[in-house]
Structure 1
Amino acid sequence: MVIVTTIRREVLTLPAAEWGPDNPLPPLTPLDEVHRIEVQDVPEASALPRDMARQLGYAPLRSLLPVRVRDGYGRTRAPRAVDALVLENDRLRATVLAGLGGRVASLVHKPTERELLYRNPVLQPANFALNGAWFSGGIEWNIGATGHTALSCAPLHAARVPAPGGGEMLRLWEWERLRDLPFQIDLWLPDGSDFLLVGVRIRNPHETPVPTYWWSNTAVPEERRVLAPADGAWHFGPERRLTRVPVPVHDGADRTRPLNSPYAADYFYSVPDGRRRWIAALDARGDGLVQTSTGGLRGRKLFVWGAGRGGRRWQRWLTEPGGGGYCEIQAGLARTQLEHVPLAGESEVTWLEAYGPLSVPEPDGDFDAAVRRTEAALASALPPAAVEEAHAAWRAHADTEPGERLAAGSGWGALEALRADWKLPGTPFPESMIGPEQEPWRALLRSGALPEPRRVRPPGPTLVAPHWRDMLETAPATPLTEYHLGVAQWHAGDRAQAVRSWERGLELAPSVWPLLRCLAVADQQDRHHERAADRYADAFDDLCQERRDGGEVWTAATAALGREAIEALLRVGRAAAARAVWRRLHPATRARGRFRLLEAELLLAEGLPDRARAVLETDLEVADLREGEERIGQVWERAGGGELPARLDFRMRPPV
């Protein structure tokens, strides 16, 4: 009996950390992204494919604006309710977290009761997304720029839509703000199918080309062999060099087995033109998951944490003790994640992906033979023509207007659609979606002026695209307008004009700390560190006098500005002033791991290495430790050195 595909709401109860508030300070410093390279630094740069060389240098993201940093989370987990949407037919059950980037948290093959993905049993944010909070496990959809999307932990719009061939599919859609592009993800399970089908569309409604990026990242248990029709790979490791390596054996080990790599690494597989695009992760019996797609999704990649102590520490950091590790098999628009692809003005790009179980006899042994057997098994389970036909059938449904709404995303797309009068069939952004964060900007659009806030509070987010910057330049020059204008000018690279805007705002501003903080960042970028420290100290003093309560927004502002102020004061050797800022932080803020690490640095500046080491020897956990960050090890070394305890060892590269 064939069971008709269904979509239903479900509530999961998972051990989860509090997400906390966003950082209210605009991210003015350059983007901290480890996956970045200059073409001239590639050893075989002259041998790079021309399109790859061009795309490696094309429009890398330099700033997070207008997105905010998400760093308010902790590491204390408790059972929490998580809304989920479940797609199910008689063969597969897919669990989707629309409120957390549309992540497919689970994909179960019902006849064998096998979980096809690495399903993280906890929800633990970590500092891996472009803007901070991210979590591991499942299938994630990465749009925007090199790195994990800024939407990793953000809600997407979701609704029911008629599926090709009848039944329903789940549509997810949002407005990606780093590149100002709307996108949609349609997921459905044809009746009787062993494959979850996913149609993706990215639109460029602008008149000019926009850099585009997409990688679908699938977490699978690491005790697998990863197979793809590759004739080599581009290796990107902790030394941040891109080199061509053979597949499967590199440096004497079979790197298609994740645990054979000692350190974290990316292997971007070179799939010859004309070959079917697929990647599979199979266990010792030959059972596992395969992902395939139409040709538009060109790249395939294996990411491994490695078997070294740092990689093991990160694996435990992202889940609960005793859980298994994972690796990622990925698929993207370009050959590597270091590239961005131009999307022409007023155009779109679409493709179709398929995820499902695969059983392959003799998965071990000769790599080429295993690839041939896997490709044959895939062709039998899902012929290439069937994927192309599904893509064509889906395209006919991509513009269908959504039916019942199942989840709500942000109002930023509605604001942009209102501004430009864009009509985007299939992904509606009606004005009714506009919320409190967008409301001041709708007022600017309609009246030409930013409204004054009704009560004292930290400034809201700043829009920085050229059209919004133009509106700010012609709006009445209130202190709030000068603040936002300066942020937009800074983003555009006009630093001198940004400083002038912030200085003009200071003359009449009732609240000076947001402007002083921006000027302090500008001073730091110009290496005027003493003046930056002065401005940070003044800004923090003004904030402490202005804050109205111990609510979430004020607490987040105090923590963010206090941290920056202490670091700026320590940079110029003013430990006493840094300690004065420390004392004025909320006790709960001082107890957070990031601030305890900062206290250890403060104690070192005060000439108290033993006390600094004592801080590190407690149960220190820095919740927002950044991927690749080596700060803990550096502080440990300054506090006396010796063998770095395993619980503090997050090093992702060999010791220098």
Structure 2
Amino acid sequence: MTSATDTTTVRWTTRAMPMSHLGAPDPLPYFAHQQPIRSKPTPPNRGLNAQESARGFAWGADSILPYQVLGEYDRAQAPGEMPVLEFSNGRLTALLAPHLGGRLLSLRDQAADRELLFANPVFQPANLGSLNAWFSGGVEWNGLIPGHTPVSCCAVFAGVVHSARGPVLRLYEFDRIVEATWQIDLFLPEGQDRLFVHGRIVNADAWEKQAYWWTNMAVPASPGMRVLSPADYAIEHVLPGNQLERFDFPDPARFDGSYPGNWTDACSVFFRTETPQPLWIAALDAQGRGLAHVASAQMQGRKFFYFGTGRGGQHWMDFLSQPGRGHYVEIQSGITPTQNQRFALPAHGELHWTEAYAGVQVAPELVHHSDYQTATRAVAQAVQARVDATDLAEVDAFLRGVSAQAVTERLHAGSAWGMRHEQLTGQALAPGLDFACPLRGQQGQQDPDPWDELLRSGRFSAASLERMPQTWVTSPRWCAALERSADRHGDTWLHALALGMAAHDRGDLAQARKGYQRSLNLRPTWLGYRQRALVETNVGAREIAYDAAWHSPGVPLVLAVEIANDMLDTGRVRAAHAFLGGLTSAVQALDRVRLAQARLAAETQDWPLLAHWLERPFATVREGESLLDTLWTRLQQGLCKAELAERWSEAAWQQWQARHPLPAHLDFRMQGQGQGQGAQPATDANAEHSLHGQR
């Protein structure tokens, strides 16, 4: 399928690359209290102004429902062919993956024969996203909830709008939490080596909403790279405590933080200026070459993120790619000054902005001038020569006009939830966006989705009541539809379970318990028992509920992870030993079950068994998770005390640690790795996540 003008084309092609298996969505719904990054009170901001503090939030406080977690990926990296859309005008060639959130995987300058982005040579999911699975590289469109977009590894809509100035490639989706739409329109002017991207977020409802947007651009990391953006000062995350704090930038009392290579630990640097001026950000190598990003005034935020030069950060980049091939720095632009903030989306309102991407070349002695402001002024001239304010305003006006036009040619379908929302509300979500897509039960498919049945007939069929839904609904509109259905056609276990989950999601645990019990009374199901376990405060009652869930028909294997960890978290070591020992080989093979086995070995002080579990790499280590290095430390403490017995001392233990450092395959530490420039104090997993929130 091809769309073309004289020089600009959009076509499907493939990209040969090693690929790991993504796996199916997790059938378990996850609630805010189950987030791997637990909510903490919003810490004080040190030196931030009102604009930089407005609409702040605490990371980990929000639920991700009704989205489903993706956590069944592996690290196979088998040879594969990834389907991609190629968008090219002969000067720049972009590769995009509509099945992976519309990620812009590659942007190649054909004349210079140079890749402007970090184009990851593999597809390797890892546990860094809001829904677990995430992968590094390219340009990521992050909205409308905080963190890496929930569609990082999910399909979005794609199509072409044929305009008077050539094809515009559109990506768009409906966000199920904010219940608003986002779209990205990409435009390659004929004969130019600049990519323009227009963003649009639409709120069709009659009330204001809180939303979020950051565009993240990964560029290849190289020795001597410098990231520059207009800045009178910077805001950084400070640990422990996760405060946002204002610093001089670069800070002469510490080091020049504009060089990512000066940061030992993972870092987030937000560039801030008090002087109104065109905002841009550029990452330039030792020779003064690199990528510049310019955006219209709606994008106030500029930031760079780097994993740091410490061994753990370097391991993370290899882990997300292949050894020695995954090193990158992210430059980012957002609607808010920092990533700890949301912005207001007005009732019946739209937010528009335009971004521009261009390669730049600046004399290295200017890029790397010792005075940051001198370097910034020199790079600003080069950036403005590539994309000046007049250019940006003109393209912004053109793309704003195109943004409400319907796609001429659909190239890829996203989820059915935008279409369902329009059916539920009886109104279109956004002019120009078509969310129609085939439903289960159509085109020869079997088993209609129960939520489509609820929309069409107001009730669930007997067939739907014989199986568990693949996903759930939680919003007030869907709850109202469920309540109407129960009133008119009678309550069922599915009505009660869905309404219980919605109450659970909004924090009404008393109502959730009632719903779960009503569902179990109408029909016992594995998920009804599991949900009952989640709201049980009594350990014995929770154990009974989990046991009933595990022995119910249709129970998914992944529930074993939750049950085992609950036993270990509450000190029921014997119960965990019996449960884990009775699992089948298929369940034993699950990544997080192996981690639970390692935790059990540590609790029972079975050091040979713990060493066995720690020999193998794990696929689903959570960013910021300290479990692996904690288990390694417990193993070495146990071995040291067993060998030294009464000769054990603190000094002997320190010597032992020096002889038995954390193995590289277990080292995912992002803080406290040394006393070099940029090192920050070691901290726990929860605080670490908020260090950068979203790379």
TM-score (ref. length: structure 1): 0.92
**Aligned match of 1:232:** 233
| Structure 2 residue 223 is the aligned partner of structure 1 residue 205 | no
SS in 1 for 2:80: strand
CA contact (8 A) 2:237 2:243 kept: yes
Q: Counterparts of 1:504 and 1:140 in 2: how far apart (Å)?
A: 43
| Structure 2 residue 513 is the aligned partner of structure 1 residue 499 | yes
1:640 aligned to 633, 636, 640, which one? 636
1:370 aligned to 362, 367, 375, which one? 375
- What amino acid does structure 2 have at the position aligned with 1:647? H
Q: Counterparts of 2:318 and 2:158 in 1: how far apart (Å)?
A: 32
- What amino acid does structure 2 have at the position aligned with 1:12? R
TM-aligned CA distance change 1:562 to 1:203, over 3 Å: same
SS in 2 for 1:55: coil
**Aligned match of 1:550:** none
TM-fit CA distance, 1:35: 10
1:528-567 superposed matches below 5 A: 528-542=538-552, 546-547=553-554, 557-559=556-558, 561-567=559-565
- What amino acid does structure 1 have at the position aligned with 2:498? H
**Aligned match of 2:677:** none
**Aligned match of 1:22:** 25
After superposition, the CA RMSD in angstroms is 2.2
TM-fit CA distance, 1:566: 0.9
Q: Counterparts of 1:151 and 1:438 in 2: how far apart (Å)?
A: 23
Q: Greater shift after overlay, 27-36 or 488-497? A: 27-36
Q: Counterparts of 1:251 and 1:321 in 2: how far apart (Å)?
A: 35
CA contact (8 A) 2:282 2:293 kept: yes
TM-aligned CA distance change 1:355 to 1:449, over 3 Å: same
| Structure 2 residue 668 is the aligned partner of structure 1 residue 650 | yes
TM-fit CA distance, 1:490: 1.0
- What amino acid does structure 1 have at the position aligned with 2:188? L
TM-aligned CA distance change 1:38 to 1:356, over 3 Å: farther
1:519 aligned to 514, 522, 532, which one? 532
TM-fit CA distance, 1:432: 4.6
TM-fit CA distance, 1:59: 11
| Structure 2 residue 558 is the aligned partner of structure 1 residue 590 | no
TM-aligned CA distance change 1:40 to 1:651, over 3 Å: closer
**Aligned match of 1:462:** 472
| Structure 2 residue 361 is the aligned partner of structure 1 residue 359 | yes
**Aligned match of 1:191:** 190
Q: Greater shift after overlay, 579-588 or 27-36? A: 27-36
Give 5+ residue unaligned stretches, structure 2: 638-656, 673-681, 684-695
**Aligned match of 1:429:** 435
Q: Greater shift after overlay, 49-58 or 20-29? A: 49-58
Q: Counterparts of 1:478 and 1:385 in 2: how far apart (Å)?
A: 61
Q: Deviations over 1:546-597 (max 9, x none)?
A: 13xxxxxx6xx212x1111111122333334323432454424422432222
2:494 aligned to 476, 480, 489, which one? 480
CA contact (8 A) 1:93 1:107 kept: yes
| Structure 2 residue 622 is the aligned partner of structure 1 residue 622 | no
TM-fit CA distance, 1:406: 1.0
2:352 aligned to 337, 350, 357, which one? 350
Q: Greater shift after overlay, 54-63 or 477-486? A: 54-63
TM-fit CA distance, 1:173: 0.9
Q: Deviations over 1:418-450 (max 9, x none)?
A: 111222221112365678898311221333323
1:406 aligned to 393, 411, 434, which one? 411
Q: Deviations over 1:514-537 (max 9, x none)?
A: 1111111112xx4x3332223212
Q: Counterparts of 1:438 and 1:83 in 2: how far apart (Å)?
A: 28
SS in 2 for 1:500: helix
**Aligned match of 2:688:** none
Q: Counterparts of 1:267 and 1:35 in 2: how far apart (Å)?
A: 23
TM-fit CA distance, 1:609: 2.8
SS in 1 for 2:576: helix
**Aligned match of 2:72:** 72
Q: Counterparts of 1:584 and 1:477 in 2: how far apart (Å)?
A: 38
CA contact (8 A) 1:532 1:568 kept: no
**Aligned match of 2:647:** none
Q: Counterparts of 2:243 and 2:440 in 1: how far apart (Å)?
A: 44
SS in 1 for 2:350: strand
TM-fit CA distance, 1:32: 3.4
SS in 1 for 2:145: coil
| Structure 2 residue 250 is the aligned partner of structure 1 residue 252 | no
**Aligned match of 1:551:** none
TM-aligned CA distance change 1:279 to 1:36, over 3 Å: farther
CA contact (8 A) 1:209 1:343 kept: yes
Q: Counterparts of 2:118 and 2:6 in 1: how far apart (Å)?
A: 26
| Structure 2 residue 609 is the aligned partner of structure 1 residue 611 | yes
Number of residue pairs aligned between Structure 1 and Structure 2? 633
Q: Deviations over 1:60-98 (max 9, x none)?
A: 851011111110111111012211001111211111111
Identity rate, percent = 34
SS in 2 for 1:105: strand
TM-aligned CA distance change 1:539 to 1:432, over 3 Å: closer
SS in 2 for 1:596: helix
- What amino acid does structure 2 have at the position aligned with 1:635? L
Q: Counterparts of 1:33 and 1:109 in 2: how far apart (Å)?
A: 40
**Aligned match of 1:387:** 392
**Aligned match of 2:99:** 99
TM-aligned CA distance change 1:585 to 1:144, over 3 Å: farther
2:311 aligned to 297, 304, 309, which one? 309
- What amino acid does structure 1 have at the position aligned with 2:591? G
| Structure 2 residue 181 is the aligned partner of structure 1 residue 179 | no
Q: Counterparts of 1:295 and 1:437 in 2: how far apart (Å)?
A: 48
Q: Counterparts of 2:447 and 2:357 in 1: how far apart (Å)?
A: 37
Q: Deviations over 1:301-327 (max 9, x none)?
A: 010111111111111111101215111
**Aligned match of 2:332:** 330
TM-aligned CA distance change 1:324 to 1:26, over 3 Å: closer
Q: Greater shift after overlay, 360-369 or 428-437? A: 428-437
SS in 2 for 1:472: helix
CA contact (8 A) 1:162 1:397 kept: no
SS in 1 for 2:93: strand
TM-aligned CA distance change 1:136 to 1:217, over 3 Å: same
Q: Counterparts of 2:466 and 2:613 in 1: how far apart (Å)?
A: 37
Q: Counterparts of 1:258 and 1:59 in 2: how far apart (Å)?
A: 24
TM-aligned CA distance change 1:455 to 1:515, over 3 Å: closer
1:215-226 superposed matches below 5 A: 215-223=214-222, 224-226=225-227
TM-fit CA distance, 1:288: 0.5
CA contact (8 A) 1:145 1:212 kept: yes
SS in 2 for 1:84: strand
Q: Deviations over 1:474-507 (max 9, x none)?
A: 3232112111110011112221011101011111
TM-fit CA distance, 1:639: 2.5
TM-score (ref. length: structure 2): 0.87
